[in-house]
């Protein structure tokens, strides 16, 4: 019998790519999304890639009644939970939105899982849980530092909730995946990162500037203790990331997890500065990006990149696509979107 997976935030950037991988793997997918930072037309892209249009519910999972009604209507076997507010800078200026959206939604899901006998969750966590680590690269044993933003703090608290829930309710198993910086787009250019309004993330701002939709890109700070003074991140292709979710889900469904709550870093293990990324984008796509240096942005850390040995060894997963692949795919996606109305 086909297993049915609930994907919250499934029309979003990572959620849509993960939905594609799940459908390829033979799962039936049910998406819940409030469309606050995505478009309904993403479902058409998923259908064009896979031949399947997932069942879709539009609501915010902070609405407990609607969530319970959804799980009552659908026989869900597991949940992959992406739905959350995710912009570091916005979380600094609007912290209550982030605490409410990111924590109430998680607690509602866990209550619903208990009520309807759903025993498995893959949780969208983040490298922001580490704050600015004392040593690099970070491993899963790296201690959490004070979160640099309310967004990062919600991910720290979310993981604490999952840890405590796994102890109190052994029937609830979860895997938290701590992503580094997801970028890229599906090779078909039918789905990709499509932020509503002004982008908060580097890559869509680069592509929109190169396409003439934005006048210039702001680089937040060039006085960090890095080789060129700009912030360093570990960028991972969204398709590699999506495949990791499918692997983690399979681990839970097969009962292969060793603890009720597990956590893994997902990255490439390589750090690139903001200027590295811009110069690589210009080189591989033969375009220019107009940019300027501005003041540092509140909530940003200086540098971080991953040690992914645990995910490589335990999950049997490894990032396959490099920075050039990521940046070629996002430009292909941007050019595809230039002719679209959404």
Show which residues are catalytic: 151
| DSSP assignment letter at 300 | -
Interstrand relation of 272-273 and 232-233 (parallel, antiparallel or unpaired):
antiparallel
The residue written with tokens 């390829």 in the block is 24
Residue of 247, 281, 279 lying closest to 264 (CA atoms): 247
| Token pair listed for 184 | 């890229």
> What is the distance between the alpha carbons of residues 210 and 204, in angstroms, rounded to a whole number?
10
Q: Is the peptide bond before 137 cis (omega within 30 degrees of 0)?
A: yes
CA distances from 70 to 2, 3, 37, 42, 67 (A): 18, 16, 21, 21, 5
Residue of 63, 87, 313, 43 lying closest to 190 (CA atoms): 43
Cα-to-chain-centroid distance, residue 229: 26
> What is the distance between the alpha carbons of residues 151 and 326, in angstroms, rounded to a whole number?
25
| Token pair listed for 320 | 């396959």
CB-based contacts of 36: which residues, under 8 Å, 6+ apart?
60, 196
The residue written with tokens 């919600």 in the block is 154
> What is the distance between the alpha carbons of residues 236 and 319, in angstroms, rounded to a whole number?
7
């Amino acid at each position: 019998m086909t297993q049915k997976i609930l994907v919250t935030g499934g029309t979003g950037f990572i959620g849509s790519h993960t939905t594609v991988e799940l459908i390829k793997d033979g799962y039936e997918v049910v998406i819940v999304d409030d469309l606050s930072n995505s478009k309904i037309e993403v479902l058409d892209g998923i259908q064009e890639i896979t031949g399947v249009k997932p069942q879709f519910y539009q609501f915010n999972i902070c609405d407990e009644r609607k969530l319970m009604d959804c799980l009552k209507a659908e026989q869900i076997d597991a949940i992959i939970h992406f739905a959350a507010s995710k912009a570091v800078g916005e979380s600094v200026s609007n912290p209550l939105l982030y605490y409410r959206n990111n924590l109430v939604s998680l607690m509602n899901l866990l209550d619903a899982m208990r009520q309807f006998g759903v025993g498995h969750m893959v949780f969208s966590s983040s490298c922001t849980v580490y704050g600015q680590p004392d040593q690099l690269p970070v491993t899963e044993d790296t201690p959490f530092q004070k979160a640099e933003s309310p967004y990062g703090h919600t991910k720290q608290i979310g993981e604490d909730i999952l840890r405590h829930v796994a102890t109190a309710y052994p029937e609830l198993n979860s895997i938290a995946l701590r992503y580094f910086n997801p970028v890229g787009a599906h090779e078909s250019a039918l789905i990709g990162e499509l932020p509503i309004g002004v982008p908060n993330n580097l890559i869509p701002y680069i592509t929109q500037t190169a396409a003439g939709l934005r006048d210039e890109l702001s680089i937040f700070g060039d006085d960090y203790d890095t080789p060129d003074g700009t912030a360093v991140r570990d960028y991972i292709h969204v398709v590699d990331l999506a495949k990791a979710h499918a692997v983690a889900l399979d681990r839970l469904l097969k009962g292969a997890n060793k603890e009720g709550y597990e956590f893994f870093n997902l990255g490439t293990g390589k750090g690139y500065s903001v200027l590295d990324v811009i110069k690589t984008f210009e080189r591989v796509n033969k375009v220019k990006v107009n940019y300027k240096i501005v003041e540092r942005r509140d909530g940003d850390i200086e540098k971080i990149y991953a040690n992914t040995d645990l995910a490589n060894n335990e999950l049997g997963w490894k990032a396959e696509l490099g920075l050039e692949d990521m940046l070629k795919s996002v430009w292909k996606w941007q050019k595809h979107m230039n002719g679209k109305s959404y």
